[in-house]
Amino acid sequence: MDALDKQNALRLITLFSGAVKGMAFYPASHPAIRQPLMDLYKIFTTAFSQADQVSFGLADGIMFFDDHLFVSPSTAIADLTNRMLEKSVGRIIVVKGVSFDELQNFVRLFSNKGNGFAILSAQMQENGINCIKLVNEDAENLNNQDDEIEIETEGDHVGTYNKALAAIRTICRDIERGRIPNSAPVIRIVDRMVGITMQEPWALLGLTMIKDYDNYTFNHCVNVGVLAMSLGATLGLDAMTVKDLGIAGQLHDIGKTMIPKSILNKPGKLSSTEFEEMKRHPELGSKIIREMEGLDPHIAQIVLGHHLHFNRSGYPEWASKLPFNQMVDIIAIADTYDAITTLRVYQHPVNPRTALYEMQKLVGTILDGSILGRFIELMGSYPVGTLVRLDTNEVAVVYRPNPLDEESPVVRVLIDGDGKRLKMPREQSLVERSGTRYANIVAVVDPLLKNIDVGRLIADGYY
């Protein structure tokens, strides 16, 4: 029997995450902290009536509590996941007999940014925290390699996306620690994605609307892989080539891991010196990939050339005369689309429909016009993830394209004609196979104006 059902397990993790975050703003005695801690302590007490200890942590980047897995992370789970990764904590074990003071002190210590696993463990010992134990992330990953938890179910595309995200995150952390990354996790998850994409090229496109400002590189890499695979399948490429596109797309920016954070996160325009440093990332990424076991050398070649541009006026300049195939130009289109539809410190995102118009201005110089044409066909007049207003005054998000009528995609209605937000989105075909029409799209809507996070809708499983 589980110590807690899934609902209470989720509440425990949410309370813990909120208390940790709140410690940065309030003292431990403040009601905004003390009340959640008391509620948290009560849930632990309930759990200990069924078990002598409970644990929660990360399996391949996915949050778990005992046998419960949370493959569609809420904001609270995402915050806690990032904090555990920062501290290299793979698992937190809470033992029966833990006191309220121990719990409160642990939350206080865990909330301190900049303290890694070793420092946090030493501080816990100094503060007499004996009923809460930590497992190092590396040790947890080692255990999971032999007894991997199967978290995917048929059609669980968000779970697939999250595993891809975890694989890229692990690769980047290995690079930062001076290790040669293991390619196996990326290869496994791309294999899964290829199976989906070859059947329905558009099936994963909605996931590319998942944007995380604080973890831009990770999400961007996965999104580029998804877009490149979808485009490759649309172009009629075979499964092995689509797989290579997925791997190259997910790894295309790993060289940025070796670029100083001050340059990567600079809010303003880069100086000429900073830009020259930034331009090194394709070469750095290519070098890393050549050292990784299990990857074909031409994956490194694709990564090397993804900023060369269609007319080969890009960088690295010395590589402009090398032979490159169309896979480089496919990655460039996927890279450009995801970049301009994402909020960055130096730019506002454009909606997917506008992004396609903007990309057409780059034909012949940066982008290959014939491949872009097929990409536009794939995305349709209203790309997946576009927020639209119908002539019924309803607001909806485009869910999947309609190959018979690109002006009438399948949508999910979010706001009814009276302006009321629906509790659950309602799937709606704008035109039926019989020709019966439900509604027409009359405008594209800015999600910010409606306070709608399309990416969060997808991640939370409401898309």
Nearest in space to 162 (alpha carbons), one of 458, 463, 397, 383: 458
* Distance from C-alpha of 327 to C-alpha of 305, rounded to nearest angstrom: 10
For residue 10, the one-letter residue type is: L
Residue pair 173/191 in contact by the 8 Å Cβ criterion: no
Tokens of 162: 């999250």
Domains of the chain listed by start with CATH number: 6-146 (no CATH), 157-379 (1.10.3210.10), 387-459 (no CATH)
Tokens of 269: 């325009």
Q: Please list, residue by residue across 73-104, b when 16 or more beta carbons sit within 10 angstroms of its beta carbon and e when fewer do.
A: bbebbbbbbebbbebbbbbbebbeebeeebbb
Beta carbons within 10 angstroms of residue 394's beta carbon: 21
Report how far apart, in Å, the C-alpha atoms of 274 and of each of 263, 277, 280, 284, 339 are.
6, 5, 10, 16, 20
* 18-27, Cβ contacts within 8 angstroms, sequence gap of 24 or more: 18/76, 19/107, 20/79, 20/80, 20/83, 20/107, 20/110, 20/111, 21/79, 21/111, 23/107, 23/108, 23/111, 24/111, 24/113
- Residue 2 pLDDT: 67
- Residue 350 pLDDT: 83
pLDDT tens track, the chain, 463 positions: 567 888 899 999 999 998 988 887 777 778 778 888 999 999 999 999 988 899 999 886 788 898 788 866 678 888 888 888 878 888 999 999 999 999 999 999 998 876 778 888 888 988 999 999 998 866 555 444 444 434 344 457 888 888 888 889 889 988 988 889 988 889 989 988 998 898 888 888 888 887 765 567 788 999 999 999 999 999 999 999 999 999 999 999 999 999 998 898 887 889 999 999 999 999 999 999 999 988 989 999 999 999 999 999 999 999 999 999 999 999 999 999 999 988 665 567 788 889 999 999 999 999 999 999 999 999 988 998 899 999 999 999 998 888 778 889 989 899 999 999 998 889 899 998 778 899 999 999 988 788 887 776 765 555 5
Q: Which alpha helices (DSSP H) does 380-446 contain, by range?
A: none
Element (DSSP H or E) covering residue 136: strand 132-136
Nearest in space to 463 (alpha carbons), one of 224, 204, 216: 204
Residue with the two structure tokens 């969060």 = 456
For residue 313, the one-letter residue type is: S
pTM of the predicted model over 0.75: no
Q: Which alpha helices (DSSP H) does 292-347 contain, by range?
A: 297-305, 326-340
Tokens of 361: 């201005």
* Distance from C-alpha of 268 to C-alpha of 266, rounded to nearest angstrom: 6
- Residue 462 pLDDT: 52
Beta carbons within 10 angstroms of residue 287's beta carbon: 14
Nearest in space to 207 (alpha carbons), one of 249, 179, 178: 249
